[in-house]
Chains A and B, each alone.
Chain A
Amino acid sequence: MGKQMTDTANSLDNRPTQAEIDLTTVDGTPLKAALANAQKRARRRALFLVLPLLLFVLITFLAPIGQMLLRSVHNPSFSDHIPNLSVWFDENPAGTEPGEAAYEALVLDLRSMRADKTMGIAGTRINYDLPGSRSLFTSTARKAGALEPPFQEAVIATNEKWANPKLWQVMRGASSAYTVDFYLAALDRTRDVNGDIVAVDDDRKIYAANFLKTLFLAGLITFCCLILAFPVAHLLATLPLRQSNLLMIFVLLPFWTSLLVRTTSWIVLLQSQGVVNDTLVATGIVADESRIQMIYNQTGTIVAMIHILLPFMILPLYSVMRPINPSYVRAARSLGATSWTAFRRIYLPQTIPGMGAGGLLVFILGVGYYITPALVGGASGQLISNFIAFHMQKSLNWSLAAALATLLLLMVLLLYWLYDRLVGIDNLKLG
């Protein structure tokens, strides 16, 4: 086949059109098809090789993310338990005054919830949108068995909240398993009685401002890391190998140390009875009663996170600086550039891929950081991931956690896209 291919190449030069028609392999199949076949086989083999990895990524990465995305818009915990009410909601358009039929459906559903012990689940779903409704469901469901028609009066007699039009509007909304309400909540929005989207009260606003704060802190931390890492990386890249290896160990040692150990060390150093404050008091810089609060607040989060994320900036910078030829800067100097100009116009531009990679790494890690703010952030140093964790682990409102997480993911993707447009993702060197 090799010989024939060389022949083909030669003949292509002379008579291209006829060659295309005539060319076949030894067994008579057209060359084009044979080639395509061979390539297909190779591709299949390659696919076969990456298949384990592909499956791994699908199962452990994409599937959970997909499930999370779904959870943020899909919450069947109310709609699954109201067979009778859903029929009534379907038959009557929004805004219909709930009459006897509606209340009868309600009582039937409450009875079945009582039997399956699901009134807590259903009530919790309504409680997300209308706080205080949970006990309405649990207490009325307990009494539902004894209620007699006319149900409208009977139900309202157990608790007058059942007559609240807002409650019926919320129940109608929750009667469909698919909803965007969790995204509204994640952006400090809610629906009023008419179903229009409005901002929540000022003393309940929390997430929108925290998203901005998270972005700002991650940006600040990235900037500080860059300022701190640049000279270190430069030193590492320019020192003789023996000394730079020793320095490298100092950079890597904390990198290999457990995150928890490093965070806890900061608590020991920074707490108000800690090493730093004790030193300041002992040297008389600070009075004993006015020790500086450096931890359990935003300052603690910033300091500890800069320290923990610093190696992610140093290493890419170092890997970019190492191969930069020092003779470029020398050449610039010999042609009359000041040391500042030589740095700015010759050295700095060559480190941009490292700055880009380090910056992106630190920023994306910082935006999603969770454990360090949880330990040293106190009240003011909490990032959005801490609220996601709160709703995953404590309030157990997984749909809201999923909505918050999805928004965070979208924000990071948006920034990634912006970065690609501004700096170019190819212009990135991780090591």
Chain B
Amino acid sequence: MKRTLLIATAMTGFAFAAQAAEVTVLGWGGAYTKSQSEAYHKPFTAETGITVNSVDADNPATPIKAQVEAGNVTIDVASVEFADGIRLCDEGLLEEIDHSILPAAPDGTPATDDFLPGSLTECIIGTDVYATVFAFNASKFDGNAPTSIADFFDPAAFPGKRGMRKTAKANLEMALMADGVPAAEVYDLLGTDEGVDRAFAKLDEIKDMIVWWEAGAQPPQLLADGEVDMSTAYNGRIFNAVVGEQQPFEIIWDGQVYEFEGYVIPKGAPNMEEAKAFVAFAAGTEALAKAAEWISYGPPRVSSGPLVGKYFDGSIEMGPNLPTTAANLTNALASSNDFWADKDTELNERFNAWLAN
């Protein structure tokens, strides 16, 4: 009797331990979180038995500092833009991730050689390449539709409302490209006061027509509601609205700004071991390729490229819809992590002052 009790108690203990194994992942919500849930969360739980709690924020980088400084970290893994990740890493708010825990490619290439240059840092493990593009609602234009980034900034030719993200990043670059600055010179110019003035002057021309959005799920909504005729957006959100919901949206790749995004682990994450296991799992060749079948963000691993096939329901090839496809890169800008890690505060202050005046 006593022994049975002991065993029962021990088993309950194990059951609790198994139940307690969990990891909280902070994402961006909407179609993007859906892709991560399908490609990383569910297979990870199936393989390890560790529960994944998925939570969302408009920008997951912002709660990290608050949580780490307050000493009350509740998230284990967060999906962040690279510039934000570098900034947080420099401030000592992120755990360093040993690259040796990342799985090698199927052919044995070590992860450090397999990841695209720049998609791995001491704190961030790249998960995808996304782009800020602009898209328009085709039902609003008959025949005379916008074709280039210059059209987005042309109030005379296209007088309708347009949506833009309420931040300086990507908007300033797009304004300069629309003003005729070649992509290669954008950051050199933005580094000067004249360049910043020029970008704001270009934004001034359409300021009254802009509806500002903050969450990535908003632009497809604004376009679908007819609240705006065209909007900047994350390319994957538009893709999913078109393919998943048959919306008449079209993406203009001209003037796109693309950037890596990746997973980070905040310092003091409550489930550190599980967090590392999760990040290593998500960095696998197949997991990354699978995510790209749920949303049109490119995988950052060379070995994942050939594995990306069709959209998960088999309806459409993903390749031509990824930001990094050659056809989409004719006038494209790689977002500069160093530039934004450094200038983010200054330019957003200027941006806020510009908005308010």
Contact = CB atoms under 8 A, between A and B. Distances in A.
Partners in one complex: yes
Interface string A361-402: 000000000000000001110100001001011111100000
A178 interface: no
Interface string B215-254: 0000000000111000000000000000000000000000
B90 A132 contact: no
A47 to B, nearest CB: 33
Contact of B91 (A120, A128, A206): A120
Nearest to B348: A395
B342 A378 contact: no
A124 interface: yes
A185 B66 CA distance: 22
Contacts of B344: 395
Given A118-B92, A120-B90, A272-B227, A132 B342 contact: yes
Contacts of B226: 273
Contacts of A310: none
B200 to A, nearest CB: 8
Interface string B303-345: 0000000000000000000000000000000000010011111
Contacts of B56: none
Given A379-B356, A387-B352, A397 B92 contact: no
Interface string B344-357: 11101110111111
A131 B343 contact: yes
Nearest to A205: B353
A119 B345 contact: no
Nearest to A390: B352
A205 B357 CA distance: 8
B349 A204 contact: yes
B90 A119 contact: yes
Interface string A88-125: 00000000000000000000000000001111110110
A399 B166 CA distance: 23
Contact of A394 (B90, B225, B338, B348): B348
A342 to B, nearest CB: 47
A123 B90 contact: yes
A271 interface: yes
Given A116-B92, A273-B227, A378-B211, A395 B345 contact: yes
A415 interface: no
Contact of B161 (A272, A382, A392): A272
Contacts of A127: 342, 345-346
A210 interface: yes
B62 interface: yes
A178 B102 CA distance: 45
A131 B349 CA distance: 10
B188 to A, nearest CB: 14
Contacts of A395: 344-345, 348-349
Contacts of B62: 393-394, 396
A312 interface: no
Contacts of B345: 124, 127-128, 131, 134, 395, 397
B34 interface: no
A209 B356 contact: yes
B212 interface: yes
A135 interface: yes
A421 B59 CA distance: 47
B353 A204 contact: yes
A135 to B, nearest CB: 4
A203 interface: yes
Given A132-B343, A134-B342, A124 B91 contact: yes
Contacts of B356: 206, 209-210, 379-380, 382
A270 to B, nearest CB: 12
Interface in B37-70: 59, 62-63, 65-66
Contacts of B210: 379
B99 interface: no
Contacts of A394: 59, 62, 348
B227 A206 contact: no
Contacts of B87: 120
B163 to A, nearest CB: 11
B26 interface: no
Nearest to A210: B356
A379 B212 contact: yes
Given A118-B92, A120-B87, A203 B341 contact: no
A294 B225 CA distance: 16
Interface string B72-99: 0000000000000001111110000000
A138 interface: yes
Given A205-B353, A205-B357, A135 B91 contact: no
A296 interface: yes
B175 to A, nearest CB: 15
Contact of B212 (A120, A121, A271, A296): A296
Interface string B129-159: 0000000000000000000000000000000
Contacts of A135: 338, 341-342
Contacts of A378: 211-212
Given A134-B342, A206-B356, A121 B92 contact: yes
Interface in B161-216: 161, 166, 200, 210-212
A387 B345 CA distance: 13
Interface string A122-152: 0110011001101100100000000000000
A132 B196 CA distance: 13
A71 B160 CA distance: 45
21 contacts: A121-B91, A121-B92, A131-B349, A135-B338, A135-B342, A138-B90, A138-B341, A203-B350, A203-B354, A205-B353, A209-B356, A210-B356, A271-B227, A272-B161, A273-B225, A296-B212, A390-B352, A393-B63, A394-B62, A395-B348, A395-B349
Interface of A: 116-121, 123-124, 127-128, 131-132, 134-135, 138, 203-206, 209-210, 271-273, 296, 378-380, 382, 387, 390, 392-397
**Lowest 9 CB-CB distances: which A-B pairs, in order?**
A120-B90, A131-B346, A135-B342, A120-B91, A117-B92, A206-B353, A379-B355, A273-B226, A121-B91
Given A134-B342, A203-B350, A379-B356, 12 more contacts: A120-B87, A124-B91, A127-B346, A128-B345, A135-B338, A135-B341, A206-B353, A382-B355, A387-B352, A393-B62, A394-B348, A395-B348
